Structure 1
Amino acid sequence: MTAQAQKLPTRLAVFHGLGSIAYGIKDNGFSTFLLLYCNLVLGMDPRTVSLALMLALVIDGFIDPMVGYMSDRTVTNWGRRLPWLYIAPIPLAIAWVTLWSQTEAPGFWGLVAMAATVRILVSCCEVPSVALVPELTRDYDERTTLMRFRFLFAWAGGLLLMFLAYSVFLAGPEGMLSADGYRNYGLFGGVLIALAVLASAAGQHALIAVRPPAPKSPFSLRTAFAELKECFSHKAFLILLLGGALANTSQGVTFSMSNYLYLFVWRFSTADLFWYPLVLFASVIVCFLVLPHWHKRWGKRDTAVVTAVLGMLFWVTPFILRAMGLWAQEGTPASTIPVFAFFFVCNVFSVSAMVSASSMMADVVEASEEQTGRRSEGVFFSGSFFMQKCSTGLGIFITGQMLAMAGLPEKARPGQVSAAVIDSLSLTYIIVVAVFAVLIALVLRRFPITRADHEARVAALGAARINPDAEGMHP
């Protein structure tokens, strides 16, 4: 009996999701700490840093589709994806430690090289891993289950490192300006990245290590680019790419701006920074629990549309009230506790939108197969990563420009920056976030695949004796 004919084992979903810890650590580190580390610790201009990180993302983004394509065509006794998951994590861990162990500014091209290396190696872990989702199950809801576990572990990995950064690594007298703290942050993260990916691969090995059929066409660059072009022209896929590009650009701005907002706008104390990651993780748990009910009632598309807008509204409300003079003094419990409450609700909705959109990507696989007769899980998910990285890089680049335009000094310290600079930065930020949220909702609303469409398509493929996992693996 195939994985599609029986209920997805929970232990498989857990081990599958475990591998995304590496992506969560990378994403949190790059989006939350790296710009600040290079700017305020190494003394690099924020515009230079943001441009270098964006260029590294673009370089990696162009490599991602080929990683996905080669993953789809890998044929071993351990299947298509497992060899990648065993080989890539060790060099990734080494590259991650190196990035956070700089004793002086690495320069523009040095930062580009280090950031691109980390991101390419993350792709070699994450693309094959997430490409297993449509191979493991065709069920509309079980794909959401796999994605929920992926997001749960990704957030857990990222927030664990954030928690340790605030409470251990960067908790000394220098705070978030400690070079030694970032070095220890990188070392711990590198070890955890390697262990998580290897444990995920080992935990799935017995169930998915099956030699797949050979690809239907021999490899050639001409064939590769023709098949990539065919996948990238699919309407549903293009809608998700555009919606995801907007979402990840907005997320890139928010994550790279977050520490500046926490330090300069909300004046979070060391104790506040200790509790904040726990608040965020609690919101992810709530999302993990409620999302299946929302999908059963409204479907993935409508859930993504509504939660994207609601998340934005709860996020910007404290900033708006502060600008109107209706918020308590920043840095006091009367300010911080309501901020935590608003951000908690915001994150429940925002993560729900991201999980829903990611699960929608898995449903594009059968829609494409119906047209081409070919499974292309790796290509579609690598295309999604291409979009994520380019747009996240754009978000970080936008943040660098916003910081420079607002006039935030290099090596600025909380309490030593004028209120006019902070207010200008805050206002610009909430306008950007609000505009992106509305555009995301408008784009995702056009996604054409509903639950009924997907289930009818899977039934039709089965009736035509086309096995959707013909090149895949299943327990």
Structure 2
Amino acid sequence: MAQGSSGEDERLSFRTKLSFGVGSGAESIALFSVGSYAMLFYNQVLGLEAHLAGLAISASLFLDGISDPLVGSLSDRTKSRWGRRHIYMFFAPIPIVLSLIAVFNPPDGLGRWGLFAWFTVTVILLRQSMTFYHTPHLALGGELSRDYTERSKVMAYNSFFTWAGAAGTTWIALSYFFKATPEYPRGLLNPEPYAPYSIVMALLALALLGASAWFTRDRIPHLPKAPENLPKFSPFEFFKDIGKAFANRNYVWLLVAYFFLSMMIGLRGGLHLYTNTYYWHLTSEQIRFFVIGSFAGYLSAFLFAAMLHGRFDKKRTIIVSAIVYALAPSAPILLGFAGVLTDQTAGLLPILIAFSILSYGAASVLSISIMSALADIADENELTFGVRQEGVLYSTRALFAKVDQAIGAALAGFVLTLIAFPTKAKVEEVPAEVVWNLALWDGVLAGVPGFIAVFFYARYKITRASYEETKAALAARRAAIRAPLATATQAADDVPQPLVPPVISPRPAE
């Protein structure tokens, strides 16, 4: 039986939630740098074909997805003086930062296949290293509290700092590294800043990853522990863990929904910079102001997601936010197709930022809701199987996400090839038909999987009432287990003890 603290429903301190959230920001710095800039760097700066760059990212996501549940099961079963999660969080940061630097610093003179191999190997190493931090760290967030809404607050910190890491990375990159120059009016196409950029971001990620692990270590005694009789990690036990997770139908619906949602995310993520640069004709300096939209969206979610869960429940919040997330990024491009918006529209940037507020806010509320719901599913599985599986539950979800984002990233690369998007392309030289096809994929077709996800999210069944029933059943079980121990202890105290004459020490000499 998993064990927790005696005060399992206590509210967490601001320090604990902040320290947990900082780790999410550091993860975002590393992964966002690769997810947003690496494909453009290898394709448009180094000249690697888009479909090969997309395949490299897809391979890393696919292998990373496979390793996620392995690490999740391993951490669920880990017994150490540093608990189940922190032992991995302390040792993973070094390989993370080394591989991040390597991604953006390929050796000179590599040919087509050498460049492809370097990109593939380094991005795989980065994501594999990150798995040993990200999976235990996310599981830690799921088990910090057993309270229905406090879990949502914890995951609000996770979501907000995930945004902060990505937004801070964007602002630093576009403000200080990829500024426009006479030779490179689109600063992201300048090859020179990528090396110093990768070093600075790697060191920043290292500091934040270490801080998150160090300043949450005081919670180790209060976290659930692996049962003493739980077998050690093995392939057989791993598949048993996966079977327990998939036995929960609510979990399966969330996974299927996230599969389709991630396809949308992967496709849009691969095409987003291309659309802003070649369809809307935005400069790097203008693109950085999307940070304003993302800040407003994620701040709103940070402040109000837990309140929405208290008033409307998590399920309804999940459905509505998923609909908005699928629709909002498509709206400006649909208006573009209708002729309402063009790259010459007065106030175009503020209009695009306004739509981004809706998109980012919905994405953040959805993420907070799902992450909090997974902790509720962990309660259901503890009631059924007697063990807590935060590591497996969060990491298997990550497997679905990454495999599907791999498909989305590969699809983005093949879309660019399909529409004959040129390499090392200048904005004014790309044919209008190619740009229109780019917008069609990014603005319309990419949203279809998101609406499919809504259908499956609607099949999720846990409500606050059912959660309270599960929580009460778990409390009764723990009380029943503690009762015999308390009786035995009291019985031992009631046994008369033999009288022992007092020992009189000799008086010290004066």
Bin of the TM-score, shorter chain as denominator length: over 0.9
- The corresponding residue for 2:171 is 163
Contact 1:77/1:210 (<8 A) preserved: no
Which amino acid in structure 1 is aligned with residue 375 of structure 2? Answer: A
1:25 aligned partner = 29
Structure 1 residue runs of 5 or longer lacking an equivalent are 469-475
Aligned residue in 1 for 2:148: 140
Aligned length: 467
Q: How does 1:52-451 map to 2 (within 5 A)?
A: 52-104=56-108, 106-173=114-181, 174=184, 175-209=187-221, 212=225, 214-219=227-232, 220-327=234-341, 329-330=342-343, 333-451=346-464
Q: Is the 8 A contact 1:22 1:122 kept in 2?
A: no
- Please give the secondary structure, in 2, of the residue aligned with 1:464: helix
Conserved 8 A contact 2:179-2:285: no
Matched to 1:432, the amino acid is L
Distance 2:13 2:149 in 1: 14
What amino acid maps onto 2:212 in structure 1? S
CA RMSD of aligned residues (A): 1.9
Q: 1:209, CA displacement in angstroms?
A: 4.9
What whole-Å deviation, never above 9, does each CA across 1:321-343 have from its counterpart, x for those lacking one?
A: 1111121x305543222111111
**Superposition deviation, residue 210 in structure 1:** 6.5
In structure 2, what is the Cα distance between the partners aligned to 1:143 and 1:160? 25
Change (3 A) 1:222 1:163: same
| Gaps in structure 2 of 5+ consecutive residues | 482-510
Measure, in 2, the Cα distance between the counterparts of 1:387 and 1:467: 38
TM-superposition CA deviations, 1:130-171 (whole Å, max 9, x none): 111232111111111111101111110111111111111111
| Preserved contact between residue 78 and residue 226 of structure 2 (Cα < 8 Å) | no
Contact 1:161 / 1:185 at 8 angstroms: preserved in 2? no
CA distance in 2, matches of 1:335, 1:210: 51
Give the match's secondary structure for 1:179.
coil
Structure 2 vs 1, CA of residues 360 and 319 (structure 1 numbering), >3 Å: closer, same or farther?
A: same
**Counterparts of 1:221 and 1:340, CA distance in 2:** 48
Q: Which amino acid aligns with 2:385?
A: T
Aligned to 1:472: none
Whole-angstrom distance in 1 between the partners of 2:335 and 2:236: 56
Note closer, same or farther for the CA distance 1:166–1:6 as it changes in structure 2 (3 Å cut).
same
Aligned-pair distance for 1:299? 1.2
CA distance in 2, matches of 1:5, 1:365: 15
Please identify, of 296-305 and 26-35, the stretch whose mean Cα deviation from structure 2 is larger. Answer: 26-35
Distance 1:272 1:224 in 2: 48
- Distance of 1:306 and 1:156 partners within structure 2: 24
Distance 2:480 2:400 in 1: 29
Amino acid at match of 2:475: G
Task: For 1:467 and 1:434, locate their aligned partners in 2 and report how far apart those are by CA, in whole Å.
Answer: 50
State the identity as a percent: 26
State the SS of the aligned residue for 1:465. helix
Alignment correspondent of 2:490: none
Q: Distance in 1 between matches of 2:293 and 2:237?
A: 48
- Tell me, in whole angstroms, the C-alpha distance in 2 between the residues paired with 1:124 and 1:344: 32
CA contact (8 A) 2:293 2:360 kept: no
Could you tell me whether the CA contact under 8 Å between 2:43 and 2:50 is conserved in 1? Answer: yes
Say whether the 8 Å CA contact 2:9–2:146 is kept in structure 1.
no
SS at match of 2:347: helix
Q: Deviations over 1:153-192 (max 9, x none)?
A: 1110111111111111111423101222121221122112
Greater C-alpha Rg: 2
Distance in 2 between residues matched to 1:404 and 1:248, nearest whole Å? 21
1:418 is displaced (CA, Å) by 1.3
TM-superposed deviation, 1:271: 3.3
